Amino acid sequence: MSINELRPEMLEALVVGGSILGGGGGGAIKEGLKMGKLAFEIGQPSLLALDELEDDDMIVTVSAVGAPAAKNQFVQPLDYVEAIELIEKVTGNKPKALITNENGGIATVNGFFQSAVTGIPVLDVSCNGRAHPTGVMGSMQLNMLEDYESFQTAVGGRPHTDFRLSQTIRGSLGTASKLVRQASISAGGFVAVARNPVTKDYLASNGAVNALSQAYDVGIAHQSGNSGTEKIDKVVEVLKGKIVCRGKVESLVFETVDGFDLGKVVVNSGKESFELTIWNEYITCEKDSGERLATFPDLLMTFESDSGNPVTSAQLRTEQEITVIYTSRDNLILGSGMRLESNYEVVEQVVDKEILKYIADVFEEGDQNR
C-alpha cells in the first residue's frame, strides 16, 4: 500500500521494515526509533505527494554518512537540522521537500525530525529503496550530468571535542562525496548530511518512488508474525524471497576502514557453511562450495533466529544464532544510481569478489539521462 500520512503508530513498522531493506546497513533500529519518536514529540512531520510540488521546487536529500560500528561516532538530532540550514545558505534557496538517501533502521525515518522542526515535508521517495555503501550509488545518476554542481553539508562529532565539525562543500559530485566521507572519519565515524538539490521531474525519473511505503509494508508483515520464525517467514513472503540458512555465526572478521565497516561473516547451518561479505551492507553470499547465491544489489538480511528481530552487520557477534534471508533485486525499488556499471567497480575492489558478471541485467536500463 502507499502511505499518505505520517503517524506515531506507524513508526515501528517503518523503522523495522527500513532496517530489513537496509540489507545489513542503513543504521540501527534503536537509533531510528529514538529519532522518530523525538520527531513526533516536538512536532508533526508531514508527508507530501511528489505531484504536489512545483516544477522548479528544490528537493534535498538528507542522510547519515559513516561507519555504524565506529566507536567515537556522535550525531545529535539538531545536527540534521543544521545540515539543512547550511544547504539553504550555500544555495540561497529553502528546500520545499526532503527525501532520504536509502532505506535502513535510521535512514527510512531520516527527514522526520527535520520536517517536524522546519516544517519542510518529507516525500515517499528516496534516492534508493535499499541501503548502499557509496554516495554515488545514491546520487540518482547526477554524476553523469556534466553541468551538475553538487552542494553537500556535513555536521557531526561530539561537542567540545576535536571531533566536532560542520562542513559546506560546493563542487563536483565525486569530490564532494569523498570529502563528506572524510568528514565522517574526522568527526569520529558519523555525520548528518544534506546534499544534492534536484527538481521534481528529475526525482520522478531517477528516484525510488514509494520506497517508504515498501518499508512500511515489510514492517507490517514482520509485526504480523506471532513468533520469531513466523516474523521472518512473513518478511520472506512479502519480499517474495527465501531463507538462505539458519545457523550459528562461526567466524566474523569486521573492521572500520576509510569510514566504512568492512569484513565477512561465516554462518554454519550444521550441514554447510555460508559466507557473506560486508561493506556496510551485505554484498555477496556464497556456499562453502563456492556457489554464488546472491550478489548486491540483491537483498541479504540477517535476523536473530529466536526473536525474529533484524540484525545489522554492525550488530553481528560470534556464536550468535541467526537466520539469513534473500530476495532478488527485481523485488526492490532501486534508484537510477544503481543502474550504472561504473558505480560497482569499486565494490569488486573492496570486497575482492566478482560482482559485475552476476548482475548484468541491472545495467540494461543504463543511464537514465542520455
Report which residue type is found at 123. L
How many angstroms separate the CA atoms of 26 and 314, rounded? 10
Q: Is the pLDDT of residue 343 over 90?
A: yes
Give the chain's end-to-end CA distance (angstroms, integer).
32
Query: Is residue 40 in some structural domain?
Result: yes
DSSP string, 65-83: EE-TT-TT----HHHHHHH
In terms of DSSP bridges, do strands 150-156 and 122-126 run parallel, antiparallel, or are they unpaired? unpaired
Query: Is residue 292 in some structural domain?
Result: no
- Element containing residue 53 per DSSP (H, E): none
Note whether 183 and 95 are within 8 A (CB).
no
- Residue the block writes with cell 559530485: 173
- Using one digit for the tens of pLDDT, what is the confidence trace for 1-25? 789 999 999 999 999 999 999 999 9
Reported confidence tier of residue 257, pLDDT bands at 50, 70, 90? confident
Q: Looking at the 3D structure of the chain, how many domains does it have?
A: 1
- Using one digit for the tens of pLDDT, what is the confidence trace for 133-146? 998 899 999 999 98
Note whether 290 and 357 are within 8 A (CB).
no
Query: Is residue 233 in some structural domain?
Result: no
Note whether 33 and 15 are within 8 A (CB).
yes
Reported confidence tier of residue 365, pLDDT bands at 50, 70, 90? low
Note whether 18 and 36 are within 8 A (CB).
no
Q: Is the pLDDT of residue 48 over 70?
A: yes
pLDDT recorded at residue 111: 97
- Using one digit for the tens of pLDDT, what is the confidence trace for 67-123? 777 788 899 999 999 999 999 999 999 999 999 999 999 999 999 999 999 999 999
Query: Is residue 293 in some structural domain?
Result: no
pLDDT recorded at residue 135: 87
pLDDT recorded at residue 366: 52
Tell me the chain's radius of gyration from C-alpha atoms.
19
pLDDT recorded at residue 69: 73
Query: Is residue 92 in some structural domain?
Result: yes
- Using one digit for the tens of pLDDT, what is the confidence trace for 198-233? 999 999 999 999 999 999 999 999 999 999 999 999
Report which residue type is found at 164. R
228-238 vs 211-223: helix crossing angle, rounded to 10: 150
User: What are the φ/ψ torsions at residue 216 (nearest 5 degrees)?
Assistant: -65, -45
Query: Is residue 165 in some structural domain?
Result: yes
Q: Is the pLDDT of residue 348 over 50?
A: yes
Count of helix runs (H) and strand runs (E) in the chain = 9, 16
Structural domain harbouring 54: 8-212
**Among 95, 111, 96, which residue's Cα sits nearest to residue 36?**
111
User: How does the average pLDDT of the chain come out, rounded?
Assistant: 95
CATH (domain of 84): 3.40.1610.10
Q: Is the pLDDT of residue 368 over 50?
A: no
Provide, rounded to the nearest whole percent, the portion of the chain with pLDDT above 90.
91
Q: What is the pTM for the complete model shown?
A: 0.94
Report which residue type is found at 128. N
Q: Is 368 exposed, middle or buried (0-12, 13-18, 19+ CB in 10 A)?
A: middle
Flag the least confident range among 26-30, 73-77, 257-261, 350-354: 257-261
Query: Is residue 359 in some structural domain?
Result: no
C-alpha cell at 45: 512531520
Note whether 190 and 110 are within 8 A (CB).
no
Helices (H), 142-279: 173-186, 200-206, 211-223, 228-238
User: Coil, strand, or helix at residue 143?
Assistant: helix
Query: Is residue 336 in some structural domain?
Result: no
What are the strands, taking DSSP E only, across 224-335?
A: 242-257, 260-268, 273-279, 281-287, 292-295, 299-304, 310-311, 321-327
Contacts 24+ apart (CB under 8 A), 339-345: 339/141, 339/363, 339/365, 339/366, 339/367, 339/368, 340/141, 340/143, 340/144, 340/366, 340/367, 343/134, 343/136, 343/137
- Using one digit for the tens of pLDDT, what is the confidence trace for 142-184? 999 989 999 999 999 999 999 999 999 999 998 999 999 999 9
